[in-house]
Structure 1
Amino acid sequence: MLQLVDFVVRNRFFLVFVLLEVLSVWLIVRSNSYWGATYFNTSNYYVAKTLAFSNSAKEYTRLDEVNADLAKENARLNALVTKLNQTNSADAPAGYVPDSAFAARFTYTVAKVVDNETNKTNNVLTIDKGTADGIQPGMGVISATGVVGKVRFCSENFSLVTSILHSQFMVSSKLVRSNEIGYAKWPGKDPNFIDMVDVSKYTKVYKGDSAVTSDQNSVFPPGIMVGKVESIAVHPNQTFYNIILRLSTDFRNLSYVYVVQNQQLGEQENLKARTIERK
Protein backbone atom coordinates (compact mmCIF):
# COMPACT_ATOMS: atom_id res chain seq x y z
CA MET A 1 0.00 0.00 0.00
CA LEU A 2 2.82 2.37 0.89
CA GLN A 3 4.46 1.65 -2.46
CA LEU A 4 1.24 2.61 -4.25
CA VAL A 5 1.01 5.89 -2.33
CA ASP A 6 4.66 6.59 -3.05
CA PHE A 7 4.09 5.94 -6.76
CA VAL A 8 1.14 8.37 -6.87
CA VAL A 9 3.10 11.06 -5.02
CA ARG A 10 6.12 10.73 -7.30
CA ASN A 11 4.03 10.80 -10.48
CA ARG A 12 1.28 13.17 -9.35
CA PHE A 13 1.91 15.76 -12.09
CA PHE A 14 1.85 13.17 -14.86
CA LEU A 15 -1.31 11.56 -13.45
CA VAL A 16 -3.03 14.94 -13.21
CA PHE A 17 -2.03 15.63 -16.82
CA VAL A 18 -3.48 12.30 -18.02
CA LEU A 19 -6.67 12.91 -16.03
CA LEU A 20 -7.09 16.38 -17.56
CA GLU A 21 -6.50 14.98 -21.08
CA VAL A 22 -9.16 12.31 -20.56
CA LEU A 23 -11.56 14.91 -19.17
CA SER A 24 -10.90 17.19 -22.16
CA VAL A 25 -11.56 14.40 -24.67
CA TRP A 26 -14.74 13.46 -22.83
CA LEU A 27 -15.99 17.09 -22.87
CA ILE A 28 -15.24 17.42 -26.59
CA VAL A 29 -17.07 14.17 -27.39
CA ARG A 30 -20.03 15.16 -25.26
CA SER A 31 -20.38 18.72 -26.60
CA ASN A 32 -19.50 18.20 -30.30
CA SER A 33 -21.68 15.87 -32.42
CA TYR A 34 -19.04 15.39 -35.13
CA TRP A 35 -16.29 14.30 -32.74
CA GLY A 36 -18.81 12.26 -30.77
CA ALA A 37 -19.79 10.27 -33.86
CA THR A 38 -16.15 9.86 -34.87
CA TYR A 39 -15.23 8.57 -31.41
CA PHE A 40 -18.02 6.02 -31.25
CA ASN A 41 -17.38 4.78 -34.81
CA THR A 42 -13.68 4.37 -34.08
CA SER A 43 -14.23 2.71 -30.73
CA ASN A 44 -16.80 0.31 -32.23
CA TYR A 45 -14.35 -0.60 -35.00
CA TYR A 46 -11.55 -1.50 -32.59
CA VAL A 47 -13.91 -3.32 -30.22
CA ALA A 48 -15.17 -5.39 -33.15
CA LYS A 49 -11.61 -6.18 -34.27
CA THR A 50 -10.68 -7.21 -30.73
CA LEU A 51 -13.72 -9.46 -30.41
CA ALA A 52 -13.02 -11.03 -33.82
CA PHE A 53 -9.43 -11.78 -32.81
CA SER A 54 -10.61 -13.23 -29.49
CA ASN A 55 -13.17 -15.47 -31.23
CA SER A 56 -10.56 -16.62 -33.76
CA ALA A 57 -8.20 -17.56 -30.95
CA LYS A 58 -10.96 -19.52 -29.18
CA GLU A 59 -11.91 -21.33 -32.41
CA TYR A 60 -8.28 -22.23 -33.06
CA THR A 61 -7.97 -23.88 -29.64
CA ARG A 62 -11.05 -25.99 -30.48
CA LEU A 63 -9.84 -27.22 -33.89
CA ASP A 64 -9.12 -30.76 -32.64
CA GLU A 65 -12.62 -31.01 -31.19
CA VAL A 66 -14.19 -29.61 -34.36
CA ASN A 67 -12.19 -32.01 -36.57
CA ALA A 68 -13.24 -34.97 -34.43
CA ASP A 69 -16.90 -33.97 -34.72
CA LEU A 70 -16.57 -33.58 -38.49
CA ALA A 71 -14.92 -37.00 -38.76
CA LYS A 72 -17.83 -38.61 -36.87
CA GLU A 73 -20.33 -36.88 -39.13
CA ASN A 74 -18.39 -38.04 -42.21
CA ALA A 75 -18.51 -41.62 -40.93
CA ARG A 76 -22.30 -41.40 -40.64
CA LEU A 77 -22.61 -39.89 -44.12
CA ASN A 78 -20.26 -42.53 -45.60
CA ALA A 79 -22.50 -45.29 -44.28
CA LEU A 80 -25.59 -43.56 -45.68
CA VAL A 81 -24.02 -42.94 -49.11
CA THR A 82 -22.79 -46.54 -49.35
CA LYS A 83 -26.25 -47.88 -48.52
CA LEU A 84 -27.91 -45.61 -51.09
CA ASN A 85 -25.38 -46.56 -53.78
CA GLN A 86 -26.00 -50.25 -53.15
CA THR A 87 -29.78 -49.80 -53.10
CA ASN A 88 -29.83 -47.71 -56.30
CA SER A 89 -26.85 -49.05 -58.20
CA ALA A 90 -26.48 -47.33 -61.59
CA ASP A 91 -25.24 -50.48 -63.37
CA ALA A 92 -27.79 -52.87 -61.85
CA PRO A 93 -30.14 -54.55 -64.34
CA ALA A 94 -33.82 -53.64 -64.39
CA GLY A 95 -35.77 -55.36 -61.67
CA TYR A 96 -32.80 -56.06 -59.40
CA VAL A 97 -33.54 -55.20 -55.78
CA PRO A 98 -30.63 -55.78 -53.34
CA ASP A 99 -31.26 -57.31 -49.94
CA SER A 100 -31.49 -54.57 -47.29
CA ALA A 101 -28.88 -56.29 -45.11
CA PHE A 102 -26.51 -56.48 -48.08
CA ALA A 103 -26.98 -52.78 -48.90
CA ALA A 104 -26.23 -51.78 -45.27
CA ARG A 105 -23.42 -54.27 -44.66
CA PHE A 106 -20.64 -51.67 -44.33
CA THR A 107 -20.18 -49.76 -41.07
CA TYR A 108 -17.53 -47.15 -40.23
CA THR A 109 -15.44 -46.39 -37.15
CA VAL A 110 -13.55 -43.09 -36.86
CA ALA A 111 -9.87 -43.34 -35.87
CA LYS A 112 -6.99 -40.89 -35.55
CA VAL A 113 -3.63 -41.52 -37.21
CA VAL A 114 -0.89 -41.52 -34.55
CA ASP A 115 2.02 -42.65 -36.74
CA ASN A 116 2.48 -42.70 -40.50
CA GLU A 117 5.16 -43.69 -43.02
CA THR A 118 5.46 -42.57 -46.64
CA ASN A 119 9.17 -42.88 -47.52
CA LYS A 120 9.67 -46.67 -47.44
CA THR A 121 8.97 -49.45 -49.92
CA ASN A 122 6.50 -51.06 -47.51
CA ASN A 123 4.76 -48.35 -45.53
CA VAL A 124 2.42 -48.79 -42.57
CA LEU A 125 0.47 -46.44 -40.31
CA THR A 126 -0.86 -46.72 -36.77
CA ILE A 127 -4.33 -45.67 -35.61
CA ASP A 128 -5.70 -45.14 -32.10
CA LYS A 129 -8.44 -47.80 -32.25
CA GLY A 130 -8.05 -51.51 -31.54
CA THR A 131 -9.95 -54.62 -30.48
CA ALA A 132 -11.61 -52.70 -27.63
CA ASP A 133 -13.35 -50.65 -30.34
CA GLY A 134 -14.33 -53.63 -32.46
CA ILE A 135 -11.41 -53.35 -34.91
CA GLN A 136 -10.13 -56.62 -36.37
CA PRO A 137 -7.37 -57.57 -38.84
CA GLY A 138 -8.55 -57.55 -42.45
CA MET A 139 -10.80 -54.50 -42.18
CA GLY A 140 -10.41 -51.78 -44.80
CA VAL A 141 -9.32 -48.25 -43.96
CA ILE A 142 -10.31 -45.16 -45.94
CA SER A 143 -10.03 -41.39 -45.52
CA ALA A 144 -12.40 -38.59 -46.44
CA THR A 145 -10.69 -38.50 -49.86
CA GLY A 146 -10.02 -42.15 -50.71
CA VAL A 147 -8.51 -45.57 -49.97
CA VAL A 148 -5.85 -45.73 -47.23
CA GLY A 149 -5.10 -49.41 -46.57
CA LYS A 150 -6.04 -52.51 -44.62
CA VAL A 151 -5.78 -53.43 -40.93
CA ARG A 152 -2.98 -55.93 -40.36
CA PHE A 153 -2.45 -56.24 -36.59
CA CYS A 154 -4.47 -55.09 -33.59
CA SER A 155 -3.84 -54.56 -29.90
CA GLU A 156 -6.48 -53.50 -27.42
CA ASN A 157 -6.18 -49.79 -28.18
CA PHE A 158 -4.15 -49.53 -31.41
CA SER A 159 -4.05 -51.06 -34.88
CA LEU A 160 -1.31 -51.33 -37.48
CA VAL A 161 -2.53 -50.65 -41.01
CA THR A 162 -0.85 -51.80 -44.22
CA SER A 163 -0.88 -48.66 -46.34
CA ILE A 164 -1.80 -48.63 -50.01
CA LEU A 165 1.81 -47.36 -50.28
CA HIS A 166 3.00 -50.95 -49.75
CA SER A 167 4.53 -53.16 -52.42
CA GLN A 168 2.37 -56.15 -51.46
CA PHE A 169 -0.96 -54.30 -51.28
CA MET A 170 -3.40 -54.31 -54.19
CA VAL A 171 -6.97 -53.08 -54.44
CA SER A 172 -9.48 -53.95 -57.15
CA SER A 173 -10.28 -50.69 -58.95
CA LYS A 174 -12.60 -49.56 -61.72
CA LEU A 175 -12.26 -46.70 -64.20
CA VAL A 176 -15.49 -44.73 -64.03
CA ARG A 177 -15.86 -43.74 -67.69
CA SER A 178 -14.82 -47.04 -69.29
CA ASN A 179 -16.02 -49.37 -66.48
CA GLU A 180 -12.78 -51.32 -66.97
CA ILE A 181 -11.54 -53.17 -63.87
CA GLY A 182 -7.90 -53.55 -62.87
CA TYR A 183 -5.70 -53.45 -59.78
CA ALA A 184 -4.06 -50.47 -58.11
CA LYS A 185 -0.55 -51.36 -56.94
CA TRP A 186 2.16 -49.05 -55.63
CA PRO A 187 5.55 -49.34 -57.42
CA GLY A 188 7.41 -48.16 -54.32
CA LYS A 189 8.49 -44.71 -55.50
CA ASP A 190 6.49 -41.48 -55.25
CA PRO A 191 3.77 -41.47 -52.51
CA ASN A 192 1.58 -39.33 -54.78
CA PHE A 193 1.29 -41.88 -57.60
CA ILE A 194 0.25 -45.50 -57.98
CA ASP A 195 0.08 -47.91 -60.93
CA MET A 196 -3.13 -49.41 -62.27
CA VAL A 197 -2.45 -52.77 -63.90
CA ASP A 198 -4.36 -55.41 -65.90
CA VAL A 199 -6.44 -52.92 -67.90
CA SER A 200 -6.85 -54.12 -71.48
CA LYS A 201 -5.38 -51.86 -74.16
CA TYR A 202 -8.43 -52.58 -76.33
CA THR A 203 -10.55 -50.43 -74.00
CA LYS A 204 -10.61 -46.67 -74.32
CA VAL A 205 -8.98 -45.02 -71.28
CA TYR A 206 -9.24 -41.27 -70.66
CA LYS A 207 -6.68 -39.05 -68.97
CA GLY A 208 -8.24 -37.48 -65.87
CA ASP A 209 -10.72 -40.35 -65.44
CA SER A 210 -11.44 -41.39 -61.84
CA ALA A 211 -10.44 -44.81 -60.52
CA VAL A 212 -12.64 -46.08 -57.67
CA THR A 213 -12.96 -49.32 -55.74
CA SER A 214 -14.85 -51.90 -57.76
CA ASP A 215 -17.83 -54.05 -56.81
CA GLN A 216 -15.50 -57.07 -56.83
CA ASN A 217 -14.19 -56.16 -53.40
CA SER A 218 -15.26 -57.49 -50.01
CA VAL A 219 -13.04 -55.18 -47.93
CA PHE A 220 -13.89 -51.74 -49.35
CA PRO A 221 -17.30 -50.40 -50.35
CA PRO A 222 -17.63 -49.81 -54.10
CA GLY A 223 -17.07 -46.29 -55.38
CA ILE A 224 -14.35 -45.17 -52.94
CA MET A 225 -11.82 -42.96 -54.72
CA VAL A 226 -8.37 -44.39 -55.44
CA GLY A 227 -7.03 -41.73 -57.76
CA LYS A 228 -7.23 -40.08 -61.18
CA VAL A 229 -5.51 -41.13 -64.39
CA GLU A 230 -2.32 -39.09 -64.71
CA SER A 231 -0.72 -40.81 -67.71
CA ILE A 232 -1.41 -43.68 -70.12
CA ALA A 233 1.13 -45.73 -72.06
CA VAL A 234 1.18 -49.06 -73.88
CA HIS A 235 3.96 -51.09 -75.46
CA PRO A 236 3.34 -52.75 -78.85
CA ASN A 237 4.06 -56.26 -77.53
CA GLN A 238 1.78 -55.91 -74.47
CA THR A 239 -1.97 -56.35 -74.16
CA PHE A 240 -2.38 -54.10 -71.10
CA TYR A 241 -2.01 -50.39 -70.50
CA ASN A 242 0.64 -48.90 -68.23
CA ILE A 243 -1.59 -46.49 -66.29
CA ILE A 244 -0.37 -44.16 -63.56
CA LEU A 245 -2.89 -42.74 -61.12
CA ARG A 246 -2.47 -39.66 -58.97
CA LEU A 247 -3.62 -40.80 -55.53
CA SER A 248 -6.64 -38.98 -54.14
CA THR A 249 -5.38 -39.32 -50.56
CA ASP A 250 -2.57 -37.06 -49.36
CA PHE A 251 -0.70 -39.45 -47.07
CA ARG A 252 1.68 -36.77 -45.80
CA ASN A 253 -1.24 -34.90 -44.20
CA LEU A 254 -3.37 -37.82 -43.05
CA SER A 255 -5.12 -37.12 -39.75
CA TYR A 256 -8.44 -38.97 -39.38
CA VAL A 257 -9.43 -42.22 -41.10
CA TYR A 258 -12.44 -44.54 -41.16
CA VAL A 259 -12.15 -48.25 -40.48
CA VAL A 260 -14.62 -50.14 -42.67
CA GLN A 261 -16.30 -53.28 -41.42
CA ASN A 262 -18.09 -55.59 -43.83
CA GLN A 263 -20.56 -57.30 -41.53
CA GLN A 264 -21.14 -60.09 -44.07
CA LEU A 265 -17.46 -60.76 -44.76
CA GLY A 266 -17.35 -63.76 -42.40
CA GLU A 267 -20.28 -65.37 -44.18
CA GLN A 268 -18.60 -64.84 -47.57
CA GLU A 269 -15.30 -66.31 -46.39
CA ASN A 270 -16.97 -69.32 -44.78
CA LEU A 271 -18.77 -70.05 -48.04
CA LYS A 272 -15.49 -69.86 -49.99
CA ALA A 273 -13.79 -72.15 -47.46
CA ARG A 274 -16.50 -74.78 -47.89
CA THR A 275 -16.07 -74.62 -51.68
CA ILE A 276 -12.29 -75.14 -51.36
CA GLU A 277 -12.76 -78.09 -49.01
CA ARG A 278 -15.08 -79.87 -51.45
CA LYS A 279 -12.59 -79.44 -54.29
Structure 2
Amino acid sequence: MSELVEFFLRSRNFILFVLLEVVCFYFIINTSNYWSATYFNTANRYAAQVLAWSNAANEYASLRQVNADLALENQRLNARLTQLLQSKPAAPAEYQADSAFADRFKFTVAKVVNNTTQFANNYITIDKGTDDGIRPGMGVISPTGVVGKVKVCNRHFSVITSILHSEFLVSSKLTKADEIGSAKWDGVDPHLMKLDAISRYKSVAKGDSVVTSEFNSTFPPGVLVGRVRTVGVQPNMTFHDITLDLATNFSNLSFVYVVENSLKAEQEQLEKQIETDK
Protein backbone atom coordinates (compact mmCIF):
# COMPACT_ATOMS: atom_id res chain seq x y z
CA MET A 1 0.00 0.00 0.00
CA SER A 2 2.83 2.36 0.87
CA GLU A 3 4.42 1.71 -2.54
CA LEU A 4 1.18 2.67 -4.27
CA VAL A 5 1.02 5.92 -2.26
CA GLU A 6 4.64 6.68 -3.13
CA PHE A 7 3.89 6.08 -6.82
CA PHE A 8 1.02 8.60 -6.77
CA LEU A 9 3.18 11.13 -4.92
CA ARG A 10 6.01 10.76 -7.44
CA SER A 11 3.63 11.04 -10.38
CA ARG A 12 1.28 13.65 -8.97
CA ASN A 13 2.25 16.33 -11.52
CA PHE A 14 1.73 14.00 -14.48
CA ILE A 15 -1.56 12.68 -13.07
CA LEU A 16 -2.80 16.26 -12.51
CA PHE A 17 -1.82 17.15 -16.09
CA VAL A 18 -3.77 14.17 -17.50
CA LEU A 19 -6.84 15.03 -15.42
CA LEU A 20 -6.76 18.65 -16.59
CA GLU A 21 -6.45 17.49 -20.22
CA VAL A 22 -9.48 15.26 -19.81
CA VAL A 23 -11.50 18.09 -18.25
CA CYS A 24 -10.49 20.47 -21.06
CA PHE A 25 -11.37 17.87 -23.68
CA TYR A 26 -14.75 17.39 -22.02
CA PHE A 27 -15.54 21.13 -22.03
CA ILE A 28 -14.42 21.55 -25.66
CA ILE A 29 -16.73 18.77 -26.83
CA ASN A 30 -19.71 19.98 -24.84
CA THR A 31 -19.39 23.68 -25.68
CA SER A 32 -18.60 23.44 -29.42
CA ASN A 33 -20.99 21.90 -31.94
CA TYR A 34 -18.19 21.36 -34.44
CA TRP A 35 -15.91 19.47 -32.05
CA SER A 36 -18.86 17.58 -30.61
CA ALA A 37 -19.86 16.32 -34.08
CA THR A 38 -16.25 15.50 -34.93
CA TYR A 39 -15.81 13.48 -31.75
CA PHE A 40 -19.11 11.67 -32.30
CA ASN A 41 -18.25 10.70 -35.89
CA THR A 42 -14.71 9.63 -35.05
CA ALA A 43 -15.80 7.56 -32.06
CA ASN A 44 -18.50 5.86 -34.12
CA ARG A 45 -16.04 5.06 -36.92
CA TYR A 46 -13.53 3.42 -34.57
CA ALA A 47 -16.28 1.63 -32.66
CA ALA A 48 -17.64 0.25 -35.94
CA GLN A 49 -14.17 -0.92 -36.95
CA VAL A 50 -13.63 -2.68 -33.63
CA LEU A 51 -17.06 -4.28 -33.92
CA ALA A 52 -16.25 -5.48 -37.45
CA TRP A 53 -12.99 -7.05 -36.22
CA SER A 54 -14.86 -8.68 -33.36
CA ASN A 55 -17.50 -10.11 -35.70
CA ALA A 56 -14.84 -11.38 -38.09
CA ALA A 57 -13.04 -13.11 -35.22
CA ASN A 58 -16.28 -14.70 -34.00
CA GLU A 59 -17.16 -15.91 -37.52
CA TYR A 60 -13.71 -17.44 -37.95
CA ALA A 61 -13.95 -19.16 -34.58
CA SER A 62 -17.33 -20.65 -35.54
CA LEU A 63 -16.18 -22.07 -38.91
CA ARG A 64 -15.60 -25.51 -37.40
CA GLN A 65 -19.23 -25.71 -36.28
CA VAL A 66 -20.42 -24.30 -39.61
CA ASN A 67 -18.49 -27.02 -41.47
CA ALA A 68 -19.94 -29.70 -39.21
CA ASP A 69 -23.47 -28.37 -39.80
CA LEU A 70 -22.91 -28.33 -43.56
CA ALA A 71 -21.63 -31.92 -43.43
CA LEU A 72 -24.81 -33.03 -41.64
CA GLU A 73 -26.96 -31.23 -44.20
CA ASN A 74 -25.03 -32.86 -47.06
CA GLN A 75 -25.56 -36.23 -45.37
CA ARG A 76 -29.32 -35.68 -45.44
CA LEU A 77 -29.27 -34.47 -49.06
CA ASN A 78 -27.10 -37.41 -50.16
CA ALA A 79 -29.53 -39.88 -48.63
CA ARG A 80 -32.53 -38.18 -50.24
CA LEU A 81 -30.90 -37.89 -53.68
CA THR A 82 -29.77 -41.52 -53.66
CA GLN A 83 -33.24 -42.67 -52.65
CA LEU A 84 -34.84 -40.72 -55.50
CA LEU A 85 -32.35 -41.99 -58.09
CA GLN A 86 -32.72 -45.60 -56.99
CA SER A 87 -36.50 -45.54 -56.82
CA LYS A 88 -36.84 -44.42 -60.44
CA PRO A 89 -33.87 -45.25 -62.71
CA ALA A 90 -33.62 -43.66 -66.13
CA ALA A 91 -34.86 -46.73 -68.06
CA PRO A 92 -36.98 -48.60 -68.67
CA ALA A 93 -39.77 -46.19 -67.86
CA GLU A 94 -42.11 -48.85 -66.50
CA TYR A 95 -39.60 -50.08 -63.91
CA GLN A 96 -40.28 -49.14 -60.29
CA ALA A 97 -37.93 -50.27 -57.51
CA ASP A 98 -39.39 -51.54 -54.25
CA SER A 99 -38.87 -49.43 -51.15
CA ALA A 100 -36.26 -51.74 -49.59
CA PHE A 101 -34.04 -51.47 -52.68
CA ALA A 102 -34.51 -47.73 -53.06
CA ASP A 103 -33.72 -47.08 -49.38
CA ARG A 104 -30.79 -49.50 -49.08
CA PHE A 105 -28.10 -46.81 -48.83
CA LYS A 106 -27.62 -44.99 -45.50
CA PHE A 107 -25.05 -42.27 -44.82
CA THR A 108 -23.06 -41.48 -41.67
CA VAL A 109 -21.01 -38.28 -41.52
CA ALA A 110 -17.50 -38.54 -40.03
CA LYS A 111 -14.51 -36.25 -39.52
CA VAL A 112 -11.10 -37.09 -40.99
CA VAL A 113 -8.45 -37.24 -38.24
CA ASN A 114 -5.55 -38.62 -40.32
CA ASN A 115 -4.90 -38.87 -44.04
CA THR A 116 -1.93 -39.85 -46.22
CA THR A 117 -1.37 -39.18 -49.92
CA GLN A 118 2.38 -39.66 -50.35
CA PHE A 119 2.60 -43.47 -50.32
CA ALA A 120 1.80 -46.16 -52.87
CA ASN A 121 -0.88 -47.46 -50.47
CA ASN A 122 -2.65 -44.70 -48.57
CA TYR A 123 -5.13 -44.82 -45.69
CA ILE A 124 -7.51 -42.42 -43.95
CA THR A 125 -8.61 -42.44 -40.30
CA ILE A 126 -12.04 -41.13 -39.27
CA ASP A 127 -13.60 -40.46 -35.85
CA LYS A 128 -16.47 -42.96 -36.16
CA GLY A 129 -16.34 -46.69 -35.33
CA THR A 130 -18.44 -49.70 -34.44
CA ASP A 131 -20.34 -47.72 -31.79
CA ASP A 132 -21.62 -45.56 -34.66
CA GLY A 133 -22.60 -48.52 -36.85
CA ILE A 134 -19.48 -48.49 -39.02
CA ARG A 135 -18.34 -51.87 -40.34
CA PRO A 136 -15.49 -53.06 -42.62
CA GLY A 137 -16.43 -53.07 -46.30
CA MET A 138 -18.58 -49.94 -46.22
CA GLY A 139 -17.96 -47.37 -48.95
CA VAL A 140 -16.79 -43.83 -48.17
CA ILE A 141 -17.47 -40.73 -50.24
CA SER A 142 -16.83 -37.01 -49.88
CA PRO A 143 -19.08 -34.06 -50.81
CA THR A 144 -17.39 -34.12 -54.24
CA GLY A 145 -16.71 -37.79 -55.02
CA VAL A 146 -15.41 -41.25 -54.11
CA VAL A 147 -12.95 -41.58 -51.19
CA GLY A 148 -12.43 -45.30 -50.42
CA LYS A 149 -13.68 -48.26 -48.39
CA VAL A 150 -13.60 -49.04 -44.67
CA LYS A 151 -10.84 -51.55 -43.86
CA VAL A 152 -10.83 -51.96 -40.05
CA CYS A 153 -12.75 -50.46 -37.12
CA ASN A 154 -12.69 -50.24 -33.36
CA ARG A 155 -15.33 -48.64 -31.12
CA HIS A 156 -14.46 -45.01 -31.91
CA PHE A 157 -12.28 -44.97 -35.04
CA SER A 158 -12.13 -46.54 -38.49
CA VAL A 159 -9.34 -46.84 -41.03
CA ILE A 160 -10.27 -46.44 -44.69
CA THR A 161 -8.42 -47.85 -47.67
CA SER A 162 -8.09 -44.72 -49.78
CA ILE A 163 -8.83 -44.69 -53.49
CA LEU A 164 -5.15 -43.67 -53.62
CA HIS A 165 -4.13 -47.31 -53.11
CA SER A 166 -2.39 -49.57 -55.60
CA GLU A 167 -4.96 -52.36 -55.21
CA PHE A 168 -8.15 -50.28 -55.07
CA LEU A 169 -10.48 -50.57 -58.06
CA VAL A 170 -13.75 -48.71 -58.62
CA SER A 171 -16.29 -49.94 -61.15
CA SER A 172 -16.91 -46.75 -63.11
CA LYS A 173 -18.97 -45.52 -66.02
CA LEU A 174 -18.35 -42.87 -68.65
CA THR A 175 -21.63 -40.99 -68.62
CA LYS A 176 -21.62 -39.82 -72.26
CA ALA A 177 -20.29 -43.04 -73.80
CA ASP A 178 -22.28 -45.19 -71.35
CA GLU A 179 -19.27 -47.50 -71.11
CA ILE A 180 -18.18 -49.42 -68.00
CA GLY A 181 -14.52 -49.54 -66.92
CA SER A 182 -12.31 -49.67 -63.84
CA ALA A 183 -10.78 -46.61 -62.21
CA LYS A 184 -7.41 -47.24 -60.55
CA TRP A 185 -4.67 -45.03 -59.13
CA ASP A 186 -1.24 -45.44 -60.74
CA GLY A 187 0.62 -44.39 -57.57
CA VAL A 188 2.07 -41.17 -59.00
CA ASP A 189 -0.08 -38.04 -58.67
CA PRO A 190 -2.75 -37.94 -55.89
CA HIS A 191 -4.89 -35.71 -58.10
CA LEU A 192 -5.01 -38.09 -61.09
CA MET A 193 -6.39 -41.57 -61.76
CA LYS A 194 -6.45 -44.01 -64.67
CA LEU A 195 -9.62 -45.40 -66.27
CA ASP A 196 -9.09 -48.82 -67.86
CA ALA A 197 -11.07 -51.14 -70.13
CA ILE A 198 -12.78 -48.47 -72.24
CA SER A 199 -12.94 -49.57 -75.86
CA ARG A 200 -10.91 -47.47 -78.28
CA TYR A 201 -13.93 -47.43 -80.57
CA LYS A 202 -16.00 -45.51 -78.04
CA SER A 203 -16.05 -41.73 -78.31
CA VAL A 204 -14.35 -40.14 -75.28
CA ALA A 205 -13.68 -36.40 -74.90
CA LYS A 206 -11.80 -34.25 -72.42
CA GLY A 207 -14.07 -33.18 -69.57
CA ASP A 208 -16.42 -36.19 -69.77
CA SER A 209 -17.73 -37.23 -66.35
CA VAL A 210 -16.88 -40.62 -64.84
CA VAL A 211 -19.16 -41.91 -62.07
CA THR A 212 -19.59 -45.08 -60.04
CA SER A 213 -21.48 -47.74 -62.00
CA GLU A 214 -24.47 -49.82 -61.01
CA PHE A 215 -22.28 -52.94 -60.88
CA ASN A 216 -20.97 -52.67 -57.34
CA SER A 217 -22.55 -53.04 -53.93
CA THR A 218 -20.20 -50.65 -52.11
CA PHE A 219 -21.06 -47.25 -53.58
CA PRO A 220 -24.34 -45.78 -54.76
CA PRO A 221 -24.35 -45.46 -58.56
CA GLY A 222 -23.72 -42.00 -59.96
CA VAL A 223 -21.12 -40.79 -57.42
CA LEU A 224 -18.50 -38.74 -59.27
CA VAL A 225 -15.08 -40.38 -59.60
CA GLY A 226 -13.48 -37.76 -61.82
CA ARG A 227 -13.45 -36.06 -65.20
CA VAL A 228 -11.44 -37.01 -68.28
CA ARG A 229 -8.16 -35.11 -68.42
CA THR A 230 -6.42 -36.80 -71.34
CA VAL A 231 -7.36 -39.48 -73.88
CA GLY A 232 -4.83 -41.50 -75.85
CA VAL A 233 -4.54 -44.77 -77.72
CA GLN A 234 -1.51 -47.02 -77.49
CA PRO A 235 -0.46 -48.80 -80.70
CA ASN A 236 -1.94 -52.30 -81.05
CA MET A 237 -4.08 -51.79 -77.95
CA THR A 238 -7.81 -52.43 -77.73
CA PHE A 239 -8.54 -49.79 -75.08
CA HIS A 240 -8.17 -46.06 -74.61
CA ASP A 241 -5.43 -44.72 -72.34
CA ILE A 242 -7.52 -42.38 -70.17
CA THR A 243 -6.36 -40.16 -67.31
CA LEU A 244 -8.89 -38.58 -64.95
CA ASP A 245 -8.81 -35.53 -62.72
CA LEU A 246 -9.96 -36.95 -59.38
CA ALA A 247 -13.19 -35.42 -58.08
CA THR A 248 -12.04 -35.61 -54.43
CA ASN A 249 -9.21 -33.34 -53.30
CA PHE A 250 -7.42 -35.47 -50.72
CA SER A 251 -5.10 -32.65 -49.64
CA ASN A 252 -7.91 -30.80 -47.81
CA LEU A 253 -10.31 -33.63 -46.94
CA SER A 254 -12.18 -32.75 -43.73
CA PHE A 255 -15.52 -34.58 -43.65
CA VAL A 256 -16.60 -37.82 -45.34
CA TYR A 257 -19.77 -39.92 -45.55
CA VAL A 258 -19.69 -43.61 -44.76
CA VAL A 259 -22.15 -45.47 -46.99
CA GLU A 260 -24.03 -48.48 -45.63
CA ASN A 261 -25.74 -50.76 -48.15
CA SER A 262 -28.30 -52.59 -46.01
CA LEU A 263 -28.80 -55.22 -48.73
CA LYS A 264 -25.11 -55.83 -49.47
CA ALA A 265 -24.75 -58.96 -47.30
CA GLU A 266 -27.91 -60.46 -48.80
CA GLN A 267 -26.70 -59.81 -52.35
CA GLU A 268 -23.18 -61.13 -51.76
CA GLN A 269 -24.45 -64.23 -49.96
CA LEU A 270 -26.65 -65.13 -52.91
CA GLU A 271 -23.86 -64.52 -55.43
CA LYS A 272 -21.44 -66.67 -53.42
CA GLN A 273 -24.04 -69.42 -53.31
CA ILE A 274 -24.19 -69.38 -57.11
CA GLU A 275 -20.40 -69.66 -57.31
CA THR A 276 -20.44 -72.56 -54.83
CA ASP A 277 -23.11 -74.43 -56.80
CA LYS A 278 -21.11 -74.30 -60.03
8 Å Cα contact 2:88/2:95 also seen in 1: no
What CA deviation, in whole Å up to 9, does each residue of 1:189-213 have, x standing for no partner? 1111000011111111110112111
SS in 2 for 1:207: coil
Q: Name structure 2 gaps, 5 residues minimum.
A: none
SS in 2 for 1:203: coil
Write the letter of the residue equivalent to 1:41.
Answer: N
Give the distance between the partners of 2:20 and 2:174, measured in 1 at CA: 79
**Aligned pairs for 1:170-185 within 5 A:** 170-185=169-184
Give the distance between the partners of 1:93 and 1:274, measured in 2 at CA: 29
| Superposed displacement of residue 59, structure 1 | 3.0
What CA deviation, in whole Å up to 9, does each residue of 1:71-112 have, x standing for no partner? 2221111111111222343x2222222212212211111112
What CA deviation, in whole Å up to 9, does each residue of 1:138-186 have, x standing for no partner? 1001111111100111122221211101111000111222222211101
**Greater displacement, 101-110 / 51-60:** 51-60
For 2:121, the equivalent position in structure 1 comes to 122
Give the distance between the partners of 2:197 and 2:242, measured in 1 at CA: 9
For 1:107, the equivalent position in structure 2 comes to 106
Q: Name structure 1 gaps, 5 residues minimum.
A: none
| Superposed displacement of residue 66, structure 1 | 2.6
| Superposed displacement of residue 61, structure 1 | 2.9
Give the distance between the partners of 2:54 and 2:79, measured in 1 at CA: 37
Give the distance between the partners of 2:35 and 2:85, measured in 1 at CA: 65
Write the letter of the residue equivalent to 2:15.
Answer: L
8 Å Cα contact 2:192/2:244 also seen in 1: yes
What CA deviation, in whole Å up to 9, does each residue of 1:194-251 have, x standing for no partner? 0001111111111011211112221111111111111000123112111000111111
For 1:263, the equivalent position in structure 2 comes to 262
CA distance 1:32–1:176, shift in 2 (3 Å):
farther
SS in 2 for 1:9: helix
Write the letter of the residue equivalent to 2:209.
Answer: S
Give the distance between the partners of 1:45 and 1:76, measured in 2 at CA: 44
For 1:39, the equivalent position in structure 2 comes to 39
Give the distance between the partners of 1:45 and 1:84, measured in 2 at CA: 53
**Aligned pairs for 1:151-190 within 5 A:** 151-190=150-189
TM-score (norm 2): 0.94
What CA deviation, in whole Å up to 9, does each residue of 1:40-88 have, x standing for no partner? 1211121122122223223333333332222222111111111122234
Write the letter of the residue equivalent to 1:133.
Answer: D
Q: How many residues align?
A: 278
| Superposed displacement of residue 119, structure 1 | 1.1
Q: Provide the aligned C-alpha RMSD in A.
A: 1.6
Write the letter of the residue equivalent to 2:269.
Answer: N
Write the letter of the residue equivalent to 2:154.
Answer: S
Give the distance between the partners of 2:236 and 2:243, measured in 1 at CA: 19
Q: Does 1:200 align with 2:199?
A: yes
Give the distance between the partners of 1:86 and 1:49, measured in 2 at CA: 52
SS in 2 for 1:273: helix
Give the distance between the partners of 1:84 and 1:16, measured in 2 at CA: 78
Give the distance between the partners of 1:65 and 1:190, measured in 2 at CA: 32
Give percent identity, aligned residues only: 57
Give the distance between the partners of 1:165 and 1:223, measured in 2 at CA: 20
Give the distance between the partners of 2:44 and 2:85, measured in 1 at CA: 52
Write the letter of the residue equivalent to 1:54.
Answer: S
